[in-house]
Amino acid sequence: MTDLSASQLSQGIYISVPFCRTKCSFCNFASGVFSRALFDRYVAQLCAEIEAANDIARQLGGQLDRRVDSIYLGGGTPSVLASDQLRRLFHSVRENFEVEPAAEITVECAPGTISGEVIDALLDCGVNRVSLGVQSFVDKESSSVGRLHTRAITLDDIARLRSSGIGNISVDLIAGLPHQTEESWQLSLSETLASGVSHVSVYMLEVDEDSRLGTELLAGGSRYHAHFVPDDDRTADLYLAACERLEQGGVQQYEISNFARPVTHGIGLRDSKHNLKYWTRQPYLGFGVDAHSMLVAGDDLRSTGIEAVRFATPDSLEGYSAANGAAARAEQLLASRTLVNAQAALEESFFLGLRLNRGISLATLKAQFGDAAISTYDAVIAELVQDGLLEEAGDGLRLTSRGRLLSNEVFARFLREETIHHRDTEAQRSI
C-alpha cells in the first residue's frame, strides 16, 4: 500500500495557457504566438473541460477530490490573456471545485505584460503568488533569446506587484544563455537577491532539437547567438555558483532547480506548494494543451493492484482543440493513460523524491512498499554512494552536489529495464 492510498489529500490544479507575445529561441514547450482571436475559443474549451472534470476522471478510472489547495496557471504566458478571460477561468474553477481558503494560487507572468488591468484581475481571482519569467537581469542576454523585457521593466513589475499586495513572487533564471559570463551571471544573482523575491528557480539551458537555438547549436551554426552560448562545463559552473550565492543570500535550495526564503515569523520555506505535489506524488489535475495529471486510482483499478493513473492532453493547440466535448476529451486522454502499479510507484518515489534536497526516507518507503522491494535496490544505492552521486542522511538518501548535476543518470538507475524509457519520458514531461 503506497502513500496514494490516502484519498484525503487535496487536489492541485494546473491550467496551461500556451500563448506568448514572442517565442523564445530556447523554448521547447508547447507554446507559441497565436492570434488573439483564438484566445476566447481556447478559454471556452478550458472551462468546458473543467466543468466535465468529474465525469472525465471517472472514465479514466481516477478518484477526483473536489477540494483544491493549489492552483497554477502556467504556459506560455497566461498574463497575455485579457482580464475578463482570466476571470472566466478562475470563476470556472471555483464553480466546480472547493478552493480552500489558504490555497496557493500562482500565475506565471512575463515581465512587461503585467498591466494595471491584469493586476486587478489577479487580485479579483484570489491570486497570491506570481512567477516571473525573467531568465536574466542583463538586457543583452534577455534580448539575445527573444525576451522583450528589460531589467528596469522587471524591477518595476516586482515593485507594482508587491505594492498591490502580491508579495509572494518567484523569479526564473537560466544559466547558459548566449553572452552569459561569470560576471554577468553574478549581476543577475545580485539583482535577484536585492529584489527580495521569496522564491527563485534556476535552470540550466537545455540543448533541445525542438527549439530554434537548440537546433542551431547542434548544427554548429551561429544564428540566434548560438556561438555565444557557454559550453556545458561552464553552464554547470554557473549553476553551482548560483547555488552558493543564493544560499549565502538567505535563499535556500530545496529542490534541484528551486530555492526559497524562510517563512517570515514561521517555520519552513516559501517553497512552491503546487510543484511539491509533483515531487511528492500527490494528486493533481491538468487542463489545457500538454497538461499532465495524476490521480489516485478508483476502487475498481485498485482492486487489480493499480495505485494511480497518469494521463495528458496533446502537446499542440491543434491536437488539443480537435476534441469537441467531454466524451471526445475523455477518449483523447484515455489514449495517453498510464496505469501506475506498485513497482512503478516505487520507481517514481525514488526519482521524484530525490529531486528534493531533503531526499527520501528509506524507512518510509519500506513502510509503504515492504522491505523486500526496497532491498532490491541495495546494490544500486551502494554504487551511487560510492560514486559520490548519493549520500546517506540518517535513514534516508539525497543527491550530492555532483549528483544534482548528473541527476538524470542517477534517476535512470532506479528504473527497471522494461519501464525505463516510458517512465523517464512521462515523468520528466509532468515536471
User: Both ends of the chain: CA-CA distance in Å?
Assistant: 24
| Assigned domain for 186 exists | yes
| Assigned domain for 284 exists | no
Chosen domain end from 227, 255, 276: 276
| Assigned domain for 327 exists | no
Report the interhelical angle of 232-248 vs 182-195 (nearest 10°).
30
| Assigned domain for 89 exists | yes
Nearest partner of 113 among 103, 122, 126, 101, judged by Cα: 122
Residues 133 and 247 in one domain: yes
Chosen domain end from 244, 261, 276: 276
Q: Backbone phi, then psi, for 260, in 5-degree steps?
A: -150, 150
Q: Which residues fall within 8 angstroms of residue 199, CB to CB, at 6 or more apart? A: 131, 168, 169, 170, 171, 251, 258, 259, 260, 261, 270, 271, 272
Quick one: how many helices (H) and strands (E) in the chain? Answer: 20, 15
Report the interhelical angle of 326-334 vs 37-51 (nearest 10°).
80
Predicted pLDDT at 8: 52
Chosen domain end from 256, 276, 296: 276
Residues 227 and 362 in one domain: no
Task: With H, G, I as helix, E, B as strand and everything else as coil, classify residue 325.
Answer: coil
pLDDT in tens, the chain (431 residues): 345 544 456 899 999 999 887 766 566 565 555 667 789 999 999 999 999 999 999 999 999 989 999 999 998 899 999 999 999 999 999 999 999 999 999 999 999 999 999 999 999 999 999 999 999 999 999 988 777 789 999 999 999 999 999 999 999 999 999 889 999 999 999 999 999 999 999 999 877 666 666 776 776 777 767 667 778 899 999 999 999 999 999 999 999 999 999 998 777 889 999 999 999 999 999 999 999 999 999 999 999 999 999 999 999 999 999 998 899 999 999 999 999 999 999 999 999 999 999 999 999 999 999 999 999 999 999 999 999 999 998 889 999 999 999 999 999 999 975 444 344 333 333 33
How many CA within 13 A on the CB side of residue 203?
15
Predicted pLDDT at 75: 85
Predicted pLDDT at 430: 34
Residues 168 and 56 in one domain: yes
Quote the number of domains for the chain. 2
Nearest partner of 255 among 72, 141, 135, 399, judged by Cα: 399
| Assigned domain for 289 exists | no
Predicted pLDDT at 94: 98
369 is in which domain, residue-wise? 342-430
Predicted pLDDT at 7: 45
| Assigned domain for 311 exists | no
Overall pTM surpassing 0.85 (yes/no): yes
Residues 20 and 145 in one domain: yes
Alpha-carbon span 290 to 13, nearest angstrom: 14
CB-neighbour burial class of residue 172 (10 A; exposed 0-12, middle 13-18, buried 19+) = middle
Q: Which residue has the cell 471517472?
A: 58
Q: Which residues fall within 8 angstroms of residue 90, CB to CB, at 6 or more apart? A: 71, 125, 126
Residues 112 and 246 in one domain: yes
- Supply the DSSP symbol for 324: -
CB 194, CB 245: distance < 8 Å: no
If residue 243 lies in a helix (H) or strand (E), which one and from where to where?
Answer: helix 232-248
Residues 210 and 74 in one domain: yes
Looking up residue 129, the CATH number of its domain turns out to be: 3.80.30.20
Q: Backbone phi, then psi, for 7, in 5-degree steps?
A: -75, 0
Question: Helix, strand, coil % (nearest 5) of the chain?
Answer: 45, 20, 35
| Assigned domain for 330 exists | no
Residues 13 and 161 in one domain: yes
The CA–CA distances, whole Å, from 121 to 65, 86, 251, 350 equal 27, 7, 30, 40
Alpha-carbon span 211 to 17, nearest angstrom: 19
The CA–CA distances, whole Å, from 404 to 133, 254, 357, 388, 400 equal 23, 12, 9, 11, 6
Its sign, for the CA torsion 300, 304, 308, 313, is: negative
Predicted pLDDT at 5: 45
Residues 93 and 217 in one domain: yes
Predicted pLDDT at 420: 40
Residues 95 and 234 in one domain: yes
Residues 242 and 95 in one domain: yes
| Assigned domain for 210 exists | yes
The CA–CA distances, whole Å, from 150 to 146, 214, 249, 424 equal 11, 24, 23, 36
Residues 246 and 155 in one domain: yes
Looking up residue 406, the CATH number of its domain turns out to be: 1.10.10.920
